[in-house]
Each structure stands twice: as structure tokens, then as C-alpha cells.
Amino acid sequence: MTTMSRESNAFNSSPEWTSINTSLAVTGAELESSSIERALGLTQATEIQDGASVHHGPGWWTYTVDERCSGDLSEQVSALVHRVKPHLAELKALTAAGYFIQVAISGTVEPNNRLTLSVQSAGQLADLGLPVSFTTLKEGNVPSEDPLSWLD
């Protein structure tokens, strides 16, 4: 077995991120959550049906697909894209109005954890034409002694 094969096998056996969330995130000054929800055709019933949730605060709003829908990133991306894609024109109008819109993927990690984004999911996200961010959270929010330990 070559060194590359051993490294590849070691990587493939690494545990995946946990508590993954895939969100459509909208930020901007004077953001009104009700106008975002209307633009995307969301209601309380939609959230319950989709197994997703809407969260908001001053200057931000998210539509989040999490483990209640699926713990699998590919399924979360598909669910989010299914909800968002019919409203791309509305999202472009919100962007033109000064809002920043992105897909935000987050999860809890330990050293050597990985996140695998399938080619299909990458394509679905690319079709939205939105930036994608990845945020990692550490269990218990305890910083690692070595901030680059994930490279090991």
C-alpha cells in the first residue's frame, strides 16, 4: 500500500462533523424578518412541515435545516436548496436592497474530524449563486491547545 493510499484511508475513516446545521443567512441594517419570510414564502406551518426553523435578531435572519430534518449534510443541502431555489429572484432583490445573503454550514468538530461535501451538493449550492461559509464549533467551546491541531 502506498503512502498516499494509507493517508487516504486514514482520512476516510476520520469521524464526520456532528450537529450539522445548514442555513440560509441574511444580514443587513434595519432587516425586518417578516419581509424576508414573505419574500421566501415562509410561515410557521412551513417550518414545521420542512423540519426547519427560522431564527432572527437585530440585523440577521436565518432559515435553518438541522438534525431534526437530517444529520446528513447532503440531505440538509437538498432540503435548503428545494426551499430556496424557487425564490432566487426575491433573493437577488434583497441583495440589490443591500442585504448580504449566504449559505452558512456549521457543525461541531473534534481534532481530525472532517466534513464531506458531495459533488451533487456542491453543484446544488453552486446553482444558488450564493456564497457558502463553513463554521466549526468545538464541543464545550473549549479552545484547543494547538489551534492548528486539525492539520495533524
Domains, the chain, in order of start with CATH, read 19-138 (3.30.70)
Give the start-end residues of each E strand in 58-140: 60-65, 100-109, 132-138
d(CA 117, CA 13): 15
- Nearest Cα neighbor of 79 from 53, 113, 106, 45 is 53
Averaged over successive runs of 10 residues, the pLDDT of the chain (152 residues) comes to 46 70 91 87 65 85 80 88 93 93 89 86 96 84 50 42
- The pLDDT value recorded for residue 6 is 43
User: d(Cα 78, Cα 121) in Å, to the nearest integer?
Assistant: 7
Return the pLDDT at 81.
95
All cell numbers assigned to 42: 415562509
Whether the CA torsion 8, 148, 71, 102 is positive or negative: it is negative
- Cβ neighbours for 118, distance < 8 A, ≥ 6 positions apart: 73, 74
